[in-house]
Amino acid sequence: MGTIGLAGGSLLSELGSKTDIHLFFDCLNTFVVAKHSEQDWSLLSDRLYKRYLRLNELDAALVLMEQVRNKFAALPSNAIDWQDYEETKAATNNRLDTSKGTLADVFERFFENFVRCCESAKNSYEMFKSYAGYKYEPVRFIVTDIPWFTAENMRPLEEYDALEGEPFWAR
């Protein structure tokens, strides 16, 4: 299992390696959650990281993610020591361009694809909610490699809700 992506509705967007995703959430927790603890970031730091976003959480999560993007835009990319990351980049599926100017630039694909997946989840729900047997297709991180994607895509949301420990995508 090498590639992790975001899924939502009918859209699947590959983002990179487990390391890439962990780095995003490490930055989120270090530079946003810890420094702005007066705000509840759990929709991103817990629900999105570990589980999935429910339909009624998408708008609030989009607002939070835009705030994260703005905070990352104020941080130079060298706010992180990338040496270990760069040393393993050739041997892994790491896809971040650490030479970009700010953390928002480094994680630009994350922000763009998050918005796209949220919109896809909303649009798919609106288009297909009247179809018998249709279930909301949540926004979540998922392994994109076949056959793991197929198995993960069929995993019941109840298993995500009951999840303890590491997210399924990180195992």
Quote the pTM value. Answer: 0.93
Closest CA to 121 of 56, 43, 51: 56
Closest CA to 135 of 163, 117, 110, 155: 155
- Written as six digits, the tokens of 48 are 């999105």
Q: Does 50 score more than 80 pLDDT?
A: yes
Q: Does 86 score more than 90 pLDDT?
A: no
- Written as six digits, the tokens of 139 are 């926004």
d(Cα 147, Cα 24) in Å, to the nearest integer?
25
Q: Do you find a cis peptide bond into 147, omega within 30 degrees of 0?
A: yes
Q: Does 1 score more than 60 pLDDT?
A: no
Q: Which domain range does residue 72 map to?
A: 4-170
Half-sphere exposure of 147 (CA within 13 A, CB side): 1
d(Cα 102, Cα 160) in Å, to the nearest integer?
33
Task: Return the residue matching tokens 């999935």.
Answer: 52
* pLDDT, tens digit (0-9, with 9 covering 90-100), for 144-168: 998 888 888 889 999 999 999 999 9
Question: Domains in the chain: how many in total?
Answer: 1
